[in-house]
Amino acid sequence: MIKTLLLQASTGGTNYTQFIMLAGMIAIFYFFFIRPQQKKQKDQKKFIEAIKKGDQVVTLGGIHGKVVSVDDSTITLDVDRGNKLLVEKSSISLESSKRVSGEK
């Protein structure tokens, strides 16, 4: 009888420990992987919406240019003395564009 009570007490504690460890792992994944990625996506979206005529930007392919016009989903870039390219807004790199323009 005493042996049964001790066995039940020890397994009950183990279940709580496993639950606490699982909750801790979920919290670590959230704070170190999911949350920073969501913040980065939010910053990228805000940057894309704020692009205006005259900004210096860099595409994901590495093309540098000055924004000539902005439409709903596209941007026209002046890349060299009147040579213009039409690119999607989603292809503009936040990190590279900030480096070129000198922002932090």
pTM of the predicted model, to two decimals?
0.70
Same domain assignment for residues 37 and 57: no
**Band of pLDDT at residue 10, cut at 50, 70 and 90:** low
Same domain, 46 and 1: yes
Q: Name 79's Cβ contacts closer than 8 Å, sequence gap at least 6.
A: 63, 64, 65, 85
- Total domains in the fold of the chain: 2
> Average pLDDT over the chain, rounded to whole?
86
91 contacts 59 by C-beta, under 8 angstroms: yes
For residue 34, the model assigns a pLDDT of: 95
User: Is 70 found in the same domain as 33?
Assistant: no
Any idea which of 12-16, 30-34, 39-43, 78-82 has the lowest mean pLDDT? 12-16
Residues 59 and 45 in one domain: no
pLDDT category at 8 given cuts 50, 70, 90 is low
Q: What is the pLDDT of residues 79-103, one digit of tens each?
A: 998 899 999 999 999 888 888 777 6
